[in-house]
Each structure stands twice: as C-alpha cells, then as structure tokens.
Chain A
C-alpha cells in the first residue's frame, strides 16, 4: 500500500526523512544559540557589571549638565545606534524591574526623554561626506560639526576595527566628549586606542552573539542612567 502511494506521490516520501532530520538539527541549533547568549550575558555581567554602573552614572551626570548623545555604527551596528538614539529620545515607560508584571510594561514610571542623535540617520550628510571625502570621516565630521565638550559619543562595532569609528572616537576625545564604546572579540583598534572612557568588549567570536549582548549592555546603560537621573532629581527636590 505504501509502495503504491509512493509511486503515485513520490514527493510525499522522497524527502520526508531528510526534512525530519534537518528540522531536528535546526531545533537543536536554536537551543544551542540560546545557551550561548545566556552564558555570554552572564560573563558580561561578571566582567563588566560594575563598569556598566559607573558608565551610566557618568552618562547621567552628563545629561544633567545638558549633554546630548551621538550614537554611531556601521551595518547592523548602525541599526543599534538608531535604536540607542530612539530609546533615549522616546523611551515610554521605565520598567521597574522585580516588580514588573505581565501587563504590558505599563506599571513603571515614565522615563525621561533625553536628547540623542544617530549619525546614520541623515542620509544626505552621510552620502555627501562619503562621496566628497571618504567613508572613514562620516562620523568624525558630524561630531566636529555638531558636538560640544561634555556631550556623549557612543559607538558600536562588533570587530572594534571600523575605521570611521576609530576616527570618530579620536575626534570625540579631542572635543572633550564623554566616550562610550561597545566592541566584540578582543576589542580591536577601539581597545588599542586606549582613550575611550568606557569601553565594553563582549568576549565572543560570534558577530550575532556579540550584537545580542551589546543590546543588553546599552539597554542596561539606558535603564541605569534613568535611575541615576531620577535619584539625582529626588535629591534636588529634598535639598
């Protein structure tokens, strides 16, 4: 009977075993990736938890003094830079952590919108600089034009070797900005610079896991910055 069916509908049988095997390996792959990122985030917490808090405290001080944040990166990291900018600009509600329920995250205090720019958002400026001078200056030139001493420069790279990020951090340093870097692998040239005030290197060889852990790092920086600002505001009120 099965043989008759197979003769009539070979496609129903010819690949089914292969497909089951691929589906099984694909399911296992998802489980492994989840284990990798959970472990990597634990490593980041152990290595850099204290430094993340210190960076957030410094960012909160800068914002309280009138700073604006400039975020930049290439490719997938450019989308993270835009995510950082919109998170600070239009954050919605601040989750209150352990007390949070499953009611849509609406139980937190309203977070404070803070001024932030993504240096990849203005395609006219990016293409003008890239076309007229070169891609290595697209972020540095925007900082030179728009940033003041005391503003915040936040750059993301998985390799740490993007030339336009290195140039941007050099420019940010010259201008007296607070500099925050997120890198991966061994930190690359961003680590070699030795001048980034707060550099977080995610120790992984996977671009994907690095980006996932970097997302957690900047979310943590944002949340802790909000708490530090709220606390400073409470102290001001009581003074």
Chain B
C-alpha cells in the first residue's frame, strides 16, 4: 500500500478532536436552543430544515430524526426539510434564483409557531440567510448551524435566535460537529418533553 496515504490517517483523525470538544463549550447554547425548540413543539410548531450541498443531506437527516426517532418510545415530532422537493427547488432557482428558494418555500409553508433551522458550513450561504430572515419576519424561532471563525454572516445575523458554530476551517469537520450537534438537539428536546412543566412559554431560564 501507498505509505504516503497511510501516513496521513492519524492527522485526518486528529483534526477532528478540537472542534468536536468545542461542542462541549457550547453546552449552554445547546440547552437554551433545545428548551426553545421544545417549547415551540409543545405549542404545535413544526421544525423546518434547510441547507445546500452536503448540508441539504443534513436537513433531510434532521427531519427524519424527529419524525421517526431511532430510540423506541420517543414521540414523533413534526418536521420537514426544504431540500427534498427537487421540482420546486429547481423551479424557483430557474425563475427567482437560487438565493430565493428557501425563503420562497418558507413563505408558503411556514406558520408563526414553527421553527426554522438553517445549516451552512461557512455561514455564507445567501439562500440560507434569506430563509432565516424570512422565517424571523414570519415569527418563527430561528436557529443556525454554522462554522468557521464566527459563523459568518449567518452567525452574526440578528434574525437568528440561536447560533451554534463548529469552529473549523475544514467543511467536512464542521459537518461532523453538526451531526453530533443535531443528534444532541434531538435527544435533549425530548428531555424537556419529559418535564412538561418547563414548557410553558412564560417560563424562562
């Protein structure tokens, strides 16, 4: 076997460790986001997820996670991704442009009590930002999974209520932190559901 390829393996794995550990530093942001999400679900809200490229697959992963939990006995929660309808995405992209696809869908599909979750590994996806801004104007709870130094324009946007930043310049490493993050989000939303007294929207931490 090629020794040069073999020699790279430890560094490939080592590059993941720091950003993965960084999620533990965000535990309070995660907890607050989960409480806000659980409160929305409790009030009849649905989770709407969107992103581009690899993040489009994360959007679909998140929605199946909530709709069909892998842990037996956990309740199904309403969620859908905006990346599955290829006809609408390509249709809107061909007329209004790709920057408008998620905002267009949110304007037709979202209700004020819903939750919008946008994913962008560098925080620079214009259509994700516009989707979150449209959601914010409609009254949705808004969350973003981003990466890089400061989460980019999406991470700095006042339209986003909860921002979780995976601190790596490698988009593959950012994605891996995002996968752990949304698995934890799903699990901890259910922890709040097991304590229904804490889901009154007037209860704040």
Contacts and interface: CB of A to CB of B under 8 A. Distances in A.
Interface of A: 11-12, 14-16, 18-20, 22-23, 25-31, 33-35, 37-38, 41-42, 44-45, 49-50, 52-54, 56-57, 75-76, 78-80, 82-83, 86-87, 90, 92, 95, 97-98, 100-105, 107, 158, 207-208, 211-212, 215-216, 219-220, 222-224, 227-228, 231
Given A23-B31, A26-B31, A34-B20, A105 B200 contact: no
Contact of B16 (A35, A41, A102): A41
Interface string B1-41: 11011101111110111001101101110111011000000
Contact of A30 (B8, B23, B192, B197): B23
Interface of B is mostly: helix
A49 B9 contact: yes
Contacts of B2: 53, 57, 228, 231
A169 B87 CA distance: 31
Contact of B169 (A44, A50, A86, A102): A102
Report which residue of A83, A101, A231 has the largest number of chain B beta carbons within 10 angstroms of its beta carbon.
Answer: A83
Given A212-B179, A216-B16, A50 B4 contact: no
B12 A29 contact: no
Contact of A26 (B5, B54, B171, B191): B191
Contacts of B173: 219
Interface of B: 1-2, 4-6, 8-13, 15-17, 20-21, 23-24, 26-28, 30-32, 34-35, 53-54, 56-58, 60-61, 64-65, 68, 70-71, 122, 124, 148-149, 167, 169-173, 175-176, 179-180, 183-184, 187-188, 191-192, 195, 197-198, 200, 202-203, 205
A97 B21 CA distance: 18
A227 B183 CA distance: 31
Contact of B5 (A38, A53, A97, A215): A53
